[in-house]
Amino acid sequence: MQEKTKVTFFGTEAAIPELGGETASFVINDDVMVDTGWNIVDNLRRQGIDPGNIRYLLFTHMHHDHYISLPSFLYYFLIKNKDLSGLKILGPAEDLEPIMHHTLEFLFLNRKFYPDRSYPVIVPLTPGDSYEDDRFLLETTTSLHPVQALCYKYNDKHTGKTVTFTGDTAYHEPIIELAKDTSLLIHEATYGATPANPLKNGGLHSSAMDAAEVAKAAQVQQLALIHGLRHNNEASVQAAQAIYSGPVLWPEKDQTIWL
Ligand SMILES: [Zn+2]
Ligand SMILES: [Zn+2]
């Protein structure tokens, strides 16, 4: 039984990452993957994790920067003869099922080439739903974004630690409730140290100050900021620290945090 909860970040950028960078994605305890980034297979292998050993893939929402390398991930299972039925894919009900259906059947993977192969288990979630495994409990709430999106709290049953993560969202009070006393809050901070402008991107992302307000109100133990431009990282951390007194970081690529 492992004594600590492990979170490894692969990327913290938005949309199209800079050369050598990666969009927001991370893995919890080496087998629960959150969003795919652009390069999920390489990212996992660089950490010594066989992509075929991932048991859960959680999607915060189905904007492309959060699932763009899903086909290569599934292709890895197919070509390596890994049992896809051991993989559970969770995400927002409105978009998960249609996208998974088309990805698995026709549009990209052309599953007729692999007629006798198993399928992953698709678990559509509506904000507020929870999901339980013998190792963890997942709770969810809504986020404020143009598509249905989920914020999750991963409760590690072995360590008693919790990781709460937002996906893309504007400042949204229900997240405070979900994140209450969490060991680590991973909150998007697309606008960096610039206050969220309701007209910019429809106002449906957060600034570092928004993330810090959530961290402060929820009394979280640690705040990680993700989903933004790399050159804003330092200013974002400083802006958050002016509001929230706990530790704040903008994770480096391949950085692991132990809780
Ligand atoms: Zn995004
Ligand atoms: Zn989005």
Q: How far is the centre of ligand 1, averaged over its atoms, from the C-alpha of 139 (Å)? A: 21
Ligand nearest the Cα atom of residue 63? 2
Output the pLDDT for position 116: 81
Q: What is the mean pLDDT of the chain?
A: 94
Q: What is the mean pLDDT of residues 112-123?
A: 85
- How far apart CA 128 and CA 110 sit, in angstroms, is 34
- Give 149: exposed, middle or buried? Use CB within 10 Å, 0-12, 13-18, 19+: buried
Instruction: Tell me which ligand sits closest to the C-alpha of residue 190.
Output: 1
8 A C-beta contact, residue 187 and residue 206:
yes
Tokens representing 15?
Answer: 């949309």
92: pLDDT strictly greater than 90:
yes
Question: pLDDT for 13-22, tens place per residue?
Answer: 999 999 999 9
What's the CA gap between 102 and 45, in Å, rounded? 27
How much is the pLDDT for 103? 80
What's the gap in Å between 180 CA and the centre of ligand 1? 24
The alpha carbon of 131 and the centre of ligand 1 are apart by a number of angstroms equal to 23
- In the predicted structure, residue 107 carries a pLDDT above the cut 80: no
**Is the Cβ–Cβ distance between 209 and 243 less than 8 Å?**
yes
Q: How far is the CA of 146 from the centre of ligand 2 (A)?
A: 7
Q: Which pLDDT tens digit goes with each residue over 225-242?
A: 999 999 999 999 999 999
Give the pLDDT confidence of 143-196 residue by residue, as tens digits.
999 999 999 999 999 999 999 999 999 999 999 999 999 999 999 999 999 988
Q: Which ligand is nearest to the CA of 201?
A: 2
